[in-house]
């Protein structure tokens, strides 16, 4: 029997690889398929026909629903059995069940019910199945990949890891699972060890909602990493402002964490209370100060166009940004997700228009022709002052851009004396390209993206040509890298520039960090 696990957004989807590993243990052949936002009907049909699975298992988040339903439709038309799982299946179960497309819709954790589903897949009748945790917690750290995923891991040298499941806080806008659990540190360490051996990874990204929730767990993990002599770099870790103390910050920096990302959303006391964030304006300032004191780079996410958000709320947040100067700011228009308290509040209080539909979910569908990137796409809620939201979003964005401009232009001007290339990855790389496109450069040859297929929170307009092959640096005398010269640069980027790409010239950093902190 063969199962094909289908997912969107990210090529090494955690849930798919973990469920795939379990399916293989149940004796099934396993195939994976990642479809990007703009996948065509023919591509989907051909992929399904090539794999010929007995069961198609689709992981669907709400903003991927259009694609998930499209794949299910095509699979059904080819006579295949189809099950759905993931955040949308969990929080909008009735929506998927009502489509009569899925042979089962799994609510919550699929691990504990997958073996039964595989055993009885021919008897499924379109029902919702309540998920549950698998008894063997070790399986949550074990994953299976196909060749394409392995290539991606080897090339990016990055591996995603989960240390804890879910979150016990009650923020009203958040759709994360509230079923909390910790994975034993031995299993996490073993999974990183294996990935290092097999893929030569250098960089670990923790997907945990709140990486610093328990200092005891953190210490256990770091101690074991040291004991085993395991060496790797951390991608930024996510946490809450009230889950960071000097003691935790020291623990992080001592073990090589350089960047912390906070879902701040707003710093207005009134709006924090409305969102039931469970933290205060003071907590937000304290976290920024702790980051500054301990040399941690601070990344923040902000929300605009939240019901009731007014000029005072925006002003307070804007002041916070100006005073603390985070290294990076990601801004989103608020979208209510099913299963959250705020979604229900939006329904009950007329914020959601009468004709709202999951078919075109609230402006998050990147495949809409009119879609210009999330930063430019307002939400569809009623009674929201989107003009005001946009005005503040742009103000905060311009504030960030001005800071970035100063640093980037200085780096670019010194590089432009001779032929040069911009090298980097992820959101900041694209921000830099966007900023560089504002000027004409004498000697700019192009740009090189170190991590392709990476999710971007918005579209970035730039006119800088890509140098595609690693030979692209052969005529360059200077390289501007868009990351700071920290551990990751020393261990991964510099060797890649010098050894793989044979670049002998000068490397200039256009990072906002740590310089942003010196200014702050
Ligand atoms: C890491 C993460 C990201 C990373 C992704 C990086 C990466 N390398 O994967 C980044 C930062 C890019 C990201 C971005 C966004 N994210 Co995000 N993200 C997460 C996070 C924290 C972890 C995801 C994860 O891997 N979890 C672990 C796996 C094991 O859990 P899982 O996928 O839910 O799978 C379990 C079950 O759902 C089920 N299951 C899943 N698939 C299937 C399939 C089958 C067949 C079966 C039977 C079962 C099943 O079984 C699994 C085991 O328990 C979650 C929150 C969370 N803790 O889950 C939010 C979350 C998924 N993100 C969310 C959102 C909204 C976003 C953004 C839209 C942000 C925004 N603007 O608000 C963007 C969208 C980007 C995009 N296009 O994906 C929401 C989704 C809500 C929804 N209903 O769709 C979540 C739930 C958080 C939240 N705030 O509410 N995200
Ligand atoms: S926003 Fe963060 S802290 Fe709040 S419930 Fe979600 S994951 Fe937990």
Asked whether the predicted pLDDT for residue 302 surpasses 90, the reply is yes
pLDDT of residue 377: 74
Q: Is the CB of 218 under 6 A from ligand 1?
A: no
Q: What is the DSSP string of 253-311?
A: HHTT--EEEEEEE---HHHHHHTT----HHHHHHHHHHHHHHT-EEEEEEEES-TT--H
Cβ contacts of 133 within 8 Å, gap of 6 or more: 109, 111, 112, 179, 181
Ligand nearest to the CA of 212: 2
pLDDT of residue 518: 27
Whose alpha carbon is nearest atom 2 of ligand 2? 209
Cβ contacts of 313 within 8 Å, gap of 6 or more: 266, 268, 270, 271
**For residue 277, how far is its CA from the centre of ligand 2 (angstroms)?**
8
Ligand nearest to the CA of 337: 1
**For residue 30, how far is its CA from the centre of ligand 2 (angstroms)?**
33
CATH 3.40.50.2300 domain span(s) along the chain: 2-130
Confidence of residue 470 (pLDDT cuts 50, 70, 90): low
Q: Are strands 181-182 and 164-165 parallel, antiparallel or unpaired?
A: antiparallel
Question: Mapping DSSP to helix (H, G, I), strand (E, B) and coil, where does residue 496 land?
Answer: helix
Which ligand 2 atom sits nearest the alpha carbon of residue 174?
A: 6
**For residue 358, how far is its CA from the centre of ligand 2 (angstroms)?**
23
Q: In CATH, what class is 146-340?
A: alpha beta
147-204 pLDDT per residue, tens: 999 998 988 788 999 999 989 899 999 998 878 888 999 999 999 999 999 999 988 9
Q: Is the CB of 174 under 6 A from ligand 1?
A: yes
Q: Is the CB of 111 under 6 A from ligand 1?
A: yes
Q: Which of the four CATH numbers 3.40.1010, 3.90.320, 1.10.10, 2.40.50 does domain 402-519 have?
A: 3.40.1010
Whose alpha carbon is nearest atom 1 of ligand 1? 207
Q: Is the CB of 90 under 6 A from ligand 1?
A: yes
Question: Mapping DSSP to helix (H, G, I), strand (E, B) and coil, where does residue 161 land?
Answer: strand
User: pTM of the prediction?
Assistant: 0.90
CATH 3.80.30.20 domain span(s) along the chain: 146-340
User: In whole angstroms, how far apart are CA 114 and each of 27, 52, 83, 110, 123?
Assistant: 12, 20, 10, 6, 14
pLDDT of residue 479: 95
Average pLDDT of the residues of the chain: 91
Q: Which of the four CATH numbers 3.50.50.60, 3.40.50.2300, 3.40.50.300, 3.90.1640.10 does domain 2-130 have?
A: 3.40.50.2300
DSSP at 499: I
88-143 pLDDT per residue, tens: 999 999 999 999 999 999 999 999 999 999 999 999 999 999 999 999 999 999 99
414-465 pLDDT per residue, tens: 999 999 999 998 888 998 999 999 999 999 999 998 876 666 666 788 999 9
Asked whether the predicted pLDDT for residue 370 surpasses 70, the reply is no
pLDDT of residue 371: 57
CATH 3.40.1010 domain span(s) along the chain: 402-519
Query: Residues 401-411: what's their mean pLDDT?
Result: 90
pLDDT of residue 286: 98
């Amino acid at each position: 029997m063969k199962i094909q696990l289908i997912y969107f957004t990210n090529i090494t989807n955690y849930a798919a690889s973990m469920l795939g590993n379990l399916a293989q243990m149940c004796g099934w052949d396993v195939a994976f398929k990642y479809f990007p936002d703009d996948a065509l009907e023919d591509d989907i049909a051909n992929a399904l026909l090539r794999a010929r699975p007995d069961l198609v298992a689709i992981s669907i988040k709400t903003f991927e629903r259009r694609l998930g339903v499209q794949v299910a439709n095509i699979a059904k038309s080819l006579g295949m059995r189809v099950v759905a799982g993931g955040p949308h299946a969990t929080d909008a179960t009735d929506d998927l069940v009502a489509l009569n497309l899925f042979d089962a819709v799994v609510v919550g954790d699929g691990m504990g019910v997958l073996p039964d589903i595989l055993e009885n897949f021919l008897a499924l009748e379109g029902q919702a199945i309540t998920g549950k945790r698998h008894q063997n917690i070790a399986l949550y750290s074990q994953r299976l990949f196909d060749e394409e995923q392995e290539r991606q891991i080897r090339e990016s040298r990055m591996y995603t890891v989960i240390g804890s499941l879910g979150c016990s806080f009650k923020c009203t806008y958040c759709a994360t699972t509230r079923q909390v659990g910790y994975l034993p540190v031995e299993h996490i360490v073993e999974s990183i060890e294996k990935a290092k051996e097999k893929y030569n990874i250098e960089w670990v990204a923790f997907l945990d909602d709140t990486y610093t929730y328990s200092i005891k767990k953190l210490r256990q993990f770091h101690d074991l990493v040291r004991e085993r002599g395991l060496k790797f770099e951390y991608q930024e870790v996510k946490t809450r402002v009230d889950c960071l103390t000097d003691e935790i910050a020291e623990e992080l920096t001592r073990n090589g964490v350089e960047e912390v990302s906070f879902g701040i959303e707003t710093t207005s006391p009134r709006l924090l209370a409305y969102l039931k964030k469970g933290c205060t304006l003071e907590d937000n300032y304290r976290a920024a100060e702790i980051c500054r004191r301990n040399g941690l780079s601070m990344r923040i996410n902000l929300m605009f166009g939240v019901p009731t958000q007014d000029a005072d709320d925006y002003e307070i947040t804007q002041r916070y940004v100006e005073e603390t100067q985070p290294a990076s700011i990601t801004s989103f228009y608020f979208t209510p997700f099913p299963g959250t308290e705020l979604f229900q509040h939006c329904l009950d209080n007329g914020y959601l228009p009468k004709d709202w539909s999951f078919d075109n979910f609230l402006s998050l569908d990147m495949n809409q022709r009119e879609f210009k990137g999330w930063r430019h796409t307002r939400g569809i809620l009623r009674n929201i002052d989107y003009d005001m939201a946009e005005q503040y979003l742009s103000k905060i964005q311009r504030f960030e851009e001005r800071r970035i401009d100063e640093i980037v232009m200085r780096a670019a001007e010194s590089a432009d004396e001779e032929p040069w290339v911009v090298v980097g990855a992820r959101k900041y790389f694209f921000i830099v390209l966007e900023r560089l496109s504002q000027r004409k450069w004498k000697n700019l040859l192009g740009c090189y993206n170190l991590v392709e297929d990476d999710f971007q929170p918005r579209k970035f307009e730039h006119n800088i040509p890509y140098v595609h092959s690693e030979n692209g640096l052969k005529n360059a005398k200077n390289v501007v890298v868009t990351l700071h010269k920290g551990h990751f640069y020393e261990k991964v980027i510099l060797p890649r520039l010098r050894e793989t790409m044979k670049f002998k010239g000068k490397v200039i950093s256009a990072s906002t960090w740590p310089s942003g902190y010196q200014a702050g």
